[in-house]
Amino acid sequence: MAKNFDEYSDNELFYMLCDKKEISERAFTELFNRYSSRIYAYCRRFLGEREEALDVFQETFLKFHQSATKEREMTNVPGFLITIARNLCMNVKRRERPNVTFEDYMSGNDEEPNNDKNELLDLIKNALELLPDDYKEVFILREYDGLSYSEIAKLTNNSVANVKVRIHRAKQKIKDVLQPYLNEL
């Protein structure tokens, strides 16, 4: 057994989660170090709220660890983690359907940010929040997590064509929301 756990593949580390406590803890720590920032960023972008994202992030790694068995076939640890996080994020979204309309957003956005860059980042974040969940999800997976269309299709149980359409529509909606502000800037 190698001394450094960073020398092991993801799959080897996943199966070590079923080993003795010390080995299991070290394997989990290594996998956590490899993927925690990516999983937290996904949860944060999808949910928006820091506290909710942190809760889902922690629950993702808990469920991941609990799912480790020698019998489970593991071929894609980051994909498995994203799937767990996605399902948990979708559950949170289903429980708390916000009813924010474009008009509500526009009327409540009278503050003056410090500079144009911060304003633009806020606008993009808010435009993302206005997207329907199915558009937001594929957009985040593609633009922020860098997944391919086929990976997104597999993860979301959709066709590649459907994923492409949703991403295109998400970009169009974001562009429509941002266009008046971009013209002013």
pLDDT in tens, 2-28: 568 888 988 899 999 888 888 999 999
Q: What is the DSSP-derived secondary structure letter of residue 114?
A: S
Phi and psi at 169, nearest 5°, equal: -65, -40
CA–CA separation, 182 vs 123, rounded Å? Answer: 10
State the average pLDDT over residues 156-167. Answer: 92
| Cβ–Cβ under 8 Å, residues 129 and 173 | no
Each residue's pLDDT tens digit, 51-98: 999 999 999 999 999 988 878 888 899 989 999 999 999 888 888 755
| Cβ–Cβ under 8 Å, residues 133 and 93 | yes
Q: What is the pLDDT of residue 115?
A: 61
Residue 35 has pLDDT above 60, yes or no: yes
Domains and CATH numbers, the chain: 5-95 (1.10.1740.10), 102-184 (1.10.10.10)
Q: What is the pLDDT of residue 57?
A: 95
Largest interatomic CA distance in the chain: 61
Output the average pLDDT for the chain. Answer: 83
Letter for the amino acid at 96?
E
State the average pLDDT over residues 153-157. Answer: 88
Query: Considering the entire predicted model, what is its pTM?
Result: 0.64
Say which residues have a Cβ less than 8 Å from residue 63's Cβ, sequence separation at least 6: 84, 88
Residue 103 has pLDDT above 90, yes or no: no
User: Confidence band (pLDDT; 50, 70, 90) for 116?
Assistant: low
Indicate the SS3 state at residue 100. Answer: coil
